[in-house]
Amino acid sequence: MKILIAADNGVRKEHFETAFRELGKVHDVKIIEVDRSIPFTPTTSSEKIIREYVGSPRQLMQEIDGADILVVNYAPVTEEVMDASKNLKLIGVTRGGPVNVDLQAATKRGIFVVNAPERTVDAVADFTIGLMIAEARNLARAYHMLKTGKVLKINPRLFGDAVIQGIELPGKTLGIIGFGRIGRAVAVRAKAFGMRILAYDPYVREDEMKSCGVEAAGLERLLMESDFVSLHVRLTKETEHMIGEKELKMMKKTAYLINTSRGKVVDEKALYRALKERWIAGAALDVVEEEPISPTNPLLDLDNVTITPHIAGLTQEVPLKSA
């Protein structure tokens, strides 16, 4: 059996070497590294379907001949790549969503596609709780005040003024939008903090949520009652801008929005207004609509938002889980 593996910065060559060490003793395993310097402009219909990829299909097309199995992380897998190996039977994608693979083309050719939905569950769930605490306790703002010397202006007898006084998580309500693997992992962690948990997901049964110790709620009720609203949905036509002006105005003025899913799930212009005009207390974002974030993005000028560069799923453990 011939296996072609395309490594990249997300899952590096050494991770695949470790994971495939035993298989490599009995099968022909070849590991290449994705060449990010190869220019690629999507032109075919298959190339235009895929997204969130790194590299060019041409590199895979040159290497894949005779391969029975193709394993990728971010490398683009189009129908042209599939047709370059008549033996191809399986495509393994070492990420949660195989959006860099033309699934319709694979189905049409009888090629199985498998992914790794569990790989970032713990990493993203941990990070989500971290963002909640960072926003609730003003960690980033307190550090900035300390670094810039502003904290010296605060009367020490008051233990800080209202700018850095935070809130506690026990007894607060967390609203989880999207009750899949990550949403459930966040719920487990939040319960340990003594939080009340509401969840909205039209594709998950109420009794299933109840068995997880979570109360099912409609979207409007969740937004109105939650002290924290955390997003854990895939980006689809249904979820794009599902949080906009209307939804943000439903939230409590003391509430925080947490987004570790995809930037386009939130209408960023509406969010900017919500933060600037204090419709809500604050937000913590690991994702934005256009990434990498522009230095001129107006969100960066606000003092009630914490932004990180899409790193929720980046831990030392994730690549090994993926491979």
From 247, 262, 268, 289, the catalytic residue: 262
Confidence of residue 27 (pLDDT cuts 50, 70, 90): very high
Same fold flag, 2-116 and 121-319 = yes
- Concatenating the DSSP letter of every residue in 112-129 gives EEE--TTTTHHHHHHHHH
Q: Is 205 a catalytic residue?
A: no
- Concatenating the DSSP letter of every residue in 145-160 gives HHHHTGGGGS-GGGTS
Cβ-based burial of 218 (10 A; exposed 0-12, middle 13-18, buried ≥19): exposed
What single-letter DSSP state applies at residue 70? E
pLDDT in tens, 51-81: 999 999 999 999 999 999 999 999 999 999 9
SS3 176: strand
pLDDT in tens, 203-257: 999 999 999 999 999 999 999 999 999 999 999 999 999 999 999 999 999 999 9
The residue behind tokens 């926003």 is 135
Can you tell me the distance from the alpha carbon of 187 to that of 33, in angstroms, rounded to the nearest whole number? 37
Q: Report the CATH number of the 121-319 domain.
A: 3.40.50.720
Sheet holding 69-72, edge to edge: 28-33, 2-7, 69-72, 90-93, 112-114
Confidence of residue 142 (pLDDT cuts 50, 70, 90): confident
Instruction: Tell me the whole-structure pTM to 2 decimals.
Output: 0.88
**CB 134 within 8 Å of CB 306:** yes
Res 148: pLDDT: 82
Q: Is 95 a catalytic residue?
A: no
Cβ-based burial of 121 (10 A; exposed 0-12, middle 13-18, buried ≥19): buried
- Assigned superfamily of 2-116: NAD(P)-binding Rossmann-like Domain (3.40.50.720)
Q: Residue 58 belongs to what H/E stretch?
A: helix 57-63
Confidence of residue 165 (pLDDT cuts 50, 70, 90): confident
SS3 177: strand
State both tokens at 223: 């937004």
Res 119: pLDDT: 93
State both tokens at 197: 């948990």
Average pLDDT over the chain, rounded to an integer: 94
Q: How many CB atoms lie within 10 A of CB 190?
A: 24
Q: Is 262 a catalytic residue?
A: yes
Res 282: pLDDT: 97
Extents of the domains making up the chain? 2-116, 121-319
From 14, 220, 290, 291, the catalytic residue: 291
Can you tell me the distance from the alpha carbon of 70 to that of 90, in angstroms, rounded to the nearest whole number? 6
Q: Inform me whether the pLDDT recorded for 158 exceeds 70.
A: no
Q: How many CB atoms lie within 10 A of CB 309?
A: 11
